[in-house]
Structures are given as C-alpha cells and as structure tokens.
Structure 1
Amino acid sequence: MLAQQKEQLRKQIIQKREALTPDQIRELSLKVIENLKGLKSFQKAKTVMLYYPHRGEVDLTSLFEEVLKEGKKLLLPKVVGEEIFPIEVEDLSLLSKGKFNIVEPIGGKIYQPQKVDFVAVPGLAFDLTGCRLGFGGGYYDRFLPRVKGTKVGIAYDFQIFDRLPCEKHDVKLNQIVTPTRVITPNNP
C-alpha cells in the first residue's frame, strides 16, 4: 500500500471512529473488555500495559481499576521524544495530557519493555495476519519489537481487514480483539 493509500485509510477509519456516539463507544468497548478478559494471556499476566483512548479508540479505562484490584501491575504508555515508555500507574489520579494531547502517567516507575507480560495495542487498522496500521508516527513500531510478552490489537470490527501490506519493521500481533471476536493470526 502506498503512503498515500495508507493516509487515506487512516482518514477513513478516524472518521468512522469519531462518528461513534459516546454510548456506542461505551457499549462496544465493554464487549471488547469482556473478550480481552477471557484471554488466557491476559488472565496470567502480572504486568499489563493498556492505553488511554484517543480520537474514538476503544475505551479500556474501566479495566484500569480492575487490573489494579487483581494485584497486577498496570502500565500506561508515556511518549518521551520519539519513544514510548511503559510507566507503572498505582494512582489513577496521577494522569495528565501529554504529547499529542493523549492522557499519560505523571511520574511513575519505567518498566523495561521486555518485562511486560501483556500489551493492549491501539491502532487504526488490523488484518487477519496480525499486521497493524497506526497513526504513522512509528511509536508502537519502535516499541513492540522490544516486548517479549503477548501483543494484542484492540479494535472495532470495522477496523479489521483481510490483508494490509506489512513492512519489514512491522511486528505482528499475537491476537486482535474486537467487540464480536478474538482473532488469532495463523502467522503471528
């Protein structure tokens, strides 16, 4: 897919996401969370990296408290320069808007990516082979190769495609979770 085609796809998906009502986002997000909680990799994980929703993304924030209550370490991404760092969050009041106006942790312990057991990965489009199309900044492209744990794409059903072109630097996801299904690529 040419850069121009990727950009067009990004715009289409963002428009679809931003057209969702708050009630639709809440309802679909709760279905995604139920499917996510059913994953063995999520259940076994001791360190769970989620994300704060941006521009109509699936909203996992209702899962934050639950992760903490289960005694798991909750990590959220923080952008510093051109990199994402997984930061431990113990107090949900210690969050503020950071780069790109995305809510992220204030302070907190930085975790090594290779020590993260489970990462919920946002994106604009995903395919059945585990490829992901992001916003184009390359932040997750640089972060995910260092993660040894399970990498799970989080999406609405309209964000799933049969095939997206994967580039050499693209890390394939282990699974993709939508409101209606869990996709396990045959070549993650």
Structure 2
Amino acid sequence: MEKSRIRKSMLARLKGLSVEEREVWSVWACQVICQQEAYQRASTIATFLSMPHEVDTSYLIAQAKQDGKQVVVPKVYGKGRMVFVPYDANDLALSTFGVWEPRSDEVIDPSEIDIIHVPGLAWNEAGYRIGYGGGFYDRYLLDYQGMTVSTICDFQRYEFSEEEFDQAVREVVCYETTD
C-alpha cells in the first residue's frame, strides 16, 4: 500500500477515536515518556503541538515544565526546514498547515535537545515512520544524535518499506487499544 493510502487510512482511524480514548492514550503517553531514563536525565525535551486527532501533548508539556525541563516545539519554514524553539503558550500562531507553532525565531541547537517526541501516522517494526508527507522530521533527525521516541496506538503499527531518506525513531512505545 502506498504511503498516501496508509496516511488516509491512519488519519481516519485516529479521527475515529473517542475523546475518552484519546485522553487515556495521551495520559499514558505522558507517563511512559516521563518514566524513561532519557527523560529523567534530560534538561531539554522537544515535542509537537498536537492536532485534534493526535496524542494530546499538553499533558507532556505540563509535566515537563513542572519537572523543571525546558520544552521546545517545532517551527516549520519553507523548503522542508524545521527548527525547535522554546515553547511559550502565549506566543503561538496558527501556521498555514493548520498547526499551532511559536512566533519566536529563537532556534535551539539540536545538540541542546536531549529527547525528541516524534509524531507521525504509521510506524513499522524497525521504527521507521510515515508522517504527513513533508519530510521535516526525517531531515531534522538525519544529524540528530539524541534520543527519539514515539507514543503510538497499536493500530498505527503497519508494515511498509522505508525509503532511503527515512530516519527511524529509536524507541516506539505502543498503547494497546481496547478494540
């Protein structure tokens, strides 16, 4: 199955989750990440600002801030360029992609980020993912040396062949849904 069909199928499945299912998954994801040794040692963590069908990262952001960690979130520019900037809930704007992102241009060097929580739609057994098609994370992760983790629902595991430019996530943690 080609990537566009996998994306469409996963988006439909994610959008079909109830509010309650998404909340349970989101709380679980926060707990799983916060229990990791890489998180506990980290001073700076990166996560994404979730869309309504994704795992809700607001739980992780709140916990990381409470734990005294710097939280950084992605900001996308043209030509596939993505950077991470400090998270400030009062300094966000809706991007042309329909995603909230920071207004700030204060770029945090990748070497300062200890762990990146990576979004996507489907992951294979080797940790390669199908995202939304822009290649932003694959380009960013190409030279990133820190820890990467994704928190997915069981139905997001999907067998597909990665392409040469794809970058694997180091740890994919899977939430078992009830259906």
Identity of aligned residues (%): 28
Please tell me whether the aligned partners of residues 35 and 179 of structure 1 are also in contact (alpha carbons under 8 angstroms).
Answer: no
Please tell me whether the aligned partners of residues 151 and 175 of structure 2 are also in contact (alpha carbons under 8 angstroms).
Answer: no
Equivalent position SS for 1:141: helix
CA shift for structure 1 position 177: 2.0
The corresponding residue for 1:87 is 85
CA shift for structure 1 position 146: 2.5
What is the alpha-carbon distance in structure 1 between the residues aligned to residue 129 and residue 52 of structure 2?
A: 17
Please tell me whether the aligned partners of residues 58 and 156 of structure 1 are also in contact (alpha carbons under 8 angstroms).
Answer: no
Please tell me whether the aligned partners of residues 79 and 99 of structure 1 are also in contact (alpha carbons under 8 angstroms).
Answer: no
Give me the TM-score of the superposition, normalised by structure 2: 0.91
1:151 aligned onto 2:145: no
Please tell me whether the aligned partners of residues 10 and 156 of structure 2 are also in contact (alpha carbons under 8 angstroms).
Answer: yes
Match of 1:113 among 110, 115, 124: 110
Please tell me whether the aligned partners of residues 17 and 55 of structure 1 are also in contact (alpha carbons under 8 angstroms).
Answer: no
- The one-letter amino acid paired with 2:118 is V
- The one-letter amino acid paired with 1:28 is W
Moved over 6 A (4+): none
Alignment RMSD: 1.7
Q: What 5-or-longer segments of structure 2 have no aligned partner?
A: none
Match of 1:175 among 149, 171, 174: 171
Question: 1:94-109 to 2 correspondence within 5 Å?
Answer: 94-107=91-104, 109=106
What is the alpha-carbon distance in structure 2 between the residues aligned to residue 142 and residue 55 of structure 1?
A: 25
1:51 aligned onto 2:78: no
The corresponding residue for 1:26 is 23
- Number of residue pairs aligned between Structure 1 and Structure 2: 176
Classify 1:131/1:147 alpha carbon distance in 2 versus 1 (closer, same or farther; 3 Å).
same
- The one-letter amino acid paired with 1:138 is G
Match of 1:126 among 120, 123, 127: 123
Q: What 5-or-longer segments of structure 1 have no aligned partner?
A: 181-188
Equivalent position SS for 2:97: helix
What is the alpha-carbon distance in structure 2 between the residues aligned to residue 121 and residue 17 of structure 1?
A: 16
The corresponding residue for 1:66 is 63
Please tell me whether the aligned partners of residues 26 and 59 of structure 2 are also in contact (alpha carbons under 8 angstroms).
Answer: no
The corresponding residue for 1:183 is none
Classify 1:60/1:178 alpha carbon distance in 2 versus 1 (closer, same or farther; 3 Å).
farther
What is the alpha-carbon distance in structure 2 between the residues aligned to residue 41 and residue 144 of structure 1?
A: 17
What is the alpha-carbon distance in structure 2 between the residues aligned to residue 10 and residue 55 of structure 1?
A: 16
Give me the TM-score of the superposition, normalised by structure 1: 0.87
CA shift for structure 1 position 108: 5.4
What is the alpha-carbon distance in structure 2 between the residues aligned to residue 21 and residue 99 of structure 1?
A: 27
